[in-house]
Chains A and B, each alone.
Chain A
Amino acid sequence: MTIKIADLKIGQSALVDNIVENCDKKLKQRLRDMGFVSGQKITILKKSIFGDPIKISIKNYEISIRKKEADLIKIKND
């Protein structure tokens, strides 16, 4: 079973593995431009009301990402 970003607890970290195959091409490019490439470390900082969206720290800056989009990013344990 693979873990998802949304399943991580606040304060937990993981490494980006890849972006799922069937992801829209432009979105894939955007996610990569934002730093979601293999081996990149991410940390969960906050979750908004109802646990969605999620605030993640990546490459020393912070982004907000929806659960649904976070699910497109495969991660592995740090």
Chain B
Amino acid sequence: MTSPIKIAVVGNPNSGKSTLINNIAGSRLKVGNWSGVTVEKKEAKLNFKNKEINLVDLPGIYSLSPYSIEEKIARDFLINEQYDAILNVIDSTNIERSFYLTIQLLELGVPIIIVFNIYDEAKTKGIEVDLNIVSKLLNVQATSTVATKKEGINELLNKIISIRQDKKPKDISYGQDLDRVLDGLTISGKKIFKKFNLSQKFIKLKILEGSADFIEQKDLSELKIDDITAHLKEFHNQDLEEYISEARHSLARGFAMQITKVKEKNDWDISRKIDQILLNRYLSLPIFLMTMWLIFKLTFDIANPFIDFLDGFFGSFLAKWASLGLNFINSPQWFNSLLVDGIIGGVGFVLVFTPVIFTMMFFITFIESSGYMARVAFITDRIMRSFGLHGKSFVPLLIGFGCNVPAIYATRTLESFKDRVATSMVIPFMSCGARLPVYILFTSAFFAQNPSLVIWSLYILGIIIAAIVSVILQKTIFKQEAPLFVMELPPYRLPSFKSLMIHTWEKGKHFLIKAGTYILAVSIFVWFLLNLPWGVEDKKNSYLGQAGQIVAPIFKPLGFGDWQSASSLITGIVAKEIIIGTMGQIYASEIDSQEDLENDIFQDLSVQAKNLSLAFVNSITNVLSTISIVSISLEEDESNSSLKEKLQLFFTPLSAFSFMVFTLLYMPCVVTGIAMKQEFGSWKWFGLATIIGFVVAWLLSFLTYNIGLWVL
């Protein structure tokens, strides 16, 4: 039995690499993290013609001189790990540019398969690649694919399984002068080369470039590079790095010309045409804001009917039959309550919001993979900079609307540590999907005529607060120069449905994992807090109720000084959707069950099935009505009506709004805190974010409530 063939997949960002991997690996794709850091690591093990293949997807890179953490990971893997070959994914519409990386990969002296991806688009542009010339010229394997249409995948797999018989790629000349310098290093660098399992050429070039940070400084200083390169510097009047970079660029240009035939020059550039409008100086910002608004509107229109369905499913169907079943087997009453009120009530309440999270993630994935996200950074950079942030901070902040946790991880696209932390400090003000359940519950109870406007205003408030906090932080803790902003604006591309679904799932699953772990644990914990001391009758006297009573006075000036709200906010520290889960549990005992317990299960199941199909119909109707701007989404919602009635006893519309403001701002959830700790190596940033959040939340809710009282 032979060991699996290990392939490192390398390519520029936007080369269609991830679509290709998704299509090769499908469900066998495993997403994890690189050890020590939280950069996503994708791996796939598959079988093809009885051979085992192990694909490792490296982060997208432009060169082997790393700039960001991702690039360093990719380079370090290529230097330090054992693998059989490199799979170099190339954007066929721009071969010259892609080959700049290819040239550097050839330096490594490892067998290479060059994949000309996005080949269909290249053909439309009149570009054709002669694959035979490629393999002859460079002594590599070459093939073409259209990842979005799954074309060329088998061909590629055939190349992979035969790669072990392949020789090393051709050693390319970098011009007489440089070659001579490289030769000069052969003897003096002997000691260094022994330590690495790499081609000498690669190491030599890195030494000359001054980017050999993987070699010990002491070894380097023994080399006396200056003596060897003195003549080159003198003769060309250039930095060595510049000279090497130029050599690579011109090699890339030369190869690109040799291997391609441009049949008819086709200058039609659809992306540029689209940008004429989307990046128009005056229209760009309004269009962007409109897009955002549309996304939010569509998200709710599509998801709300399913929320109603799930609410009914957990609330009346699952809870009822679980309770009937438990009664049937004579389980003790307390266990019955733990399962039905605690677990189904708590977790179910949160799971109900899965449709919103996933729909939102779907749209965010869409703008990310279509190429619009990079434009968003372009449009917003100047504005973001006046708050001390970065156009690229915008993307994590936007993801923060879905969930703050992946947003913290997404700050990795920023190059400097300071930028990453500064962005992360304001991400918690981006109203995440977990806060939505709270808004939806409260708006439907108190602002049923205009729910979208109220929710929208909360999102905007979060953004304004983030801006203000960011400016203050920049003036105090993050006093440093603005970092870099060189960023590619990739061509617009319609992402394939499959890869959209895969990425949506990867983002959304955080929410489900949270529901299955933290929220489940907290639901059980809350149930005990609510039911201890043992046999407590009035929830007010339970441990949680007592804690709530102690804390409640703090919230009195904000309009919600009752112990129920305080208790909910305490448990909401773990994750904000738990706030309503807890409310559900607190009020559950006070809400009489009016269910008719005599239905038979088949009839109930058919009702559920009917409700589900109704949800589909309503969802489609909502989307259609969006186009004619008639919204029917939240008003007809009758879910949770008993909880809503309860809330109406305790809150006025004003205090309800104040409560939502507090929920929005009061602190990042614990899961976000854990992400911050992982990313920045210390709890202090979570601590800082918590303090800022609590102070800001209290002040804002205080102002909202008291100004409201005064005005209304």
Contact = CB atoms under 8 A, between A and B. Distances in A.
A33 B167 CA distance: 28
Interface in A20-54: 25-35, 37-38, 40, 45-50, 52-53
A12 B240 CA distance: 31
A32 B241 contact: yes
A34 B67 CA distance: 12
A61 B488 contact: yes
Interface residues of B, number: 40
Contact of B484 (A49, A50, A69): A69
A47 B282 CA distance: 11
Nearest to B66: A26
The prevalent SS among residues of A at the interface is mixed
Nearest to B390: A66
A48 B383 CA distance: 10
Interface stretch (B77-85, B352-360, B372-380): B372-380
B331 interface: no
Given A26-B67, A27-B484, A68-B482, A60 B281 contact: no
Given A26-B67, A28-B241, A30-B67, A61 B94 contact: yes
B94 A30 contact: no
B379 A31 contact: no
A62 interface: yes
Given A30-B486, A32-B241, A64-B381, 19 more contacts: A26-B67, A29-B67, A33-B62, A37-B249, A38-B242, A45-B272, A47-B281, A48-B382, A49-B284, A49-B382, A60-B94, A61-B94, A63-B488, A64-B377, A64-B485, A64-B487, A64-B489, A66-B485, A69-B485
A59 B96 contact: yes
Interface in B525-567: none
B246 interface: yes
B62 to A, nearest CB: 5
B211 A29 contact: yes
B487 A63 contact: yes
A64 B279 CA distance: 12
A76 interface: no
A48 B484 CA distance: 16
Contacts of A66: 381, 484-486
B67 A48 contact: no
A45 B485 contact: no
Nearest to A60: B94
B189 interface: no
Contact of A62 (B96, B246, B381, B489): B489
A53 B245 contact: no
A4 interface: no
A74 interface: no
Contacts of A46: 275, 279, 281
Contacts of B279: 46, 48, 55
B241 A55 contact: no
A45 B275 contact: yes
B673 interface: no
Contacts of A28: 241
Contacts of B487: 63-65
Contact of A37 (B209, B242, B378): B242
Contacts, number: 112
Contacts of A37: 242, 245-246, 249
Interface in B468-506: 482, 484-491
Interface string B54-71: 000000001101010000
A66 B481 CA distance: 14
B97 interface: yes
B381 A53 contact: yes
Contacts of A48: 279, 281, 284, 378-379, 381-382
A27 B67 CA distance: 8
A19 B67 CA distance: 18
Contacts of A26: 67
Interface in B220-243: 241-242
Given A34-B62, A38-B246, A52 B488 contact: no
Contacts of A61: 94, 97, 488, 490
A62 B374 CA distance: 11
Nearest to B375: A64
Nearest to B485: A66
Which of A26, A34, A61 is the most central at the interface, judged by chain B CB atoms within 10 Å of its CB? A61
Contacts of B272: 45, 62
B94 A49 contact: no
> Which of A28, A35, A37, A62 has the most chain B CB atoms closer than 10 A to its own CB?
A62
A30 B68 CA distance: 10
Contacts of B484: 27, 30, 66, 69
B210 interface: yes
- 6 nearest A-B pairs in the assembled complex, by CB-CB distance: A33-B63, A32-B245, A62-B489, A66-B485, A64-B378, A50-B382
A29 B65 contact: yes
Nearest to A68: B482
Given A63-B486, A66-B485, A35 B97 contact: yes
A59 B97 contact: yes
Nearest to A53: B381
B174 to A, nearest CB: 14
A32 B249 CA distance: 9
Contacts of B96: 59-60
Given A26-B67, A59-B96, A53 B281 contact: no
A48 B380 CA distance: 8
B441 to A, nearest CB: 38
Contacts of A55: 275, 279, 378, 489
Contacts of B447: none
Nearest to B249: A37
Contacts of B482: 68
B245 A33 contact: yes
A53 B100 CA distance: 25
B668 interface: no
Contacts of B97: 35, 59-61
Contacts of A62: 271-272, 488-491
9 contacts: A29-B65, A31-B486, A32-B242, A45-B275, A46-B275, A48-B281, A49-B383, A64-B374, A69-B486
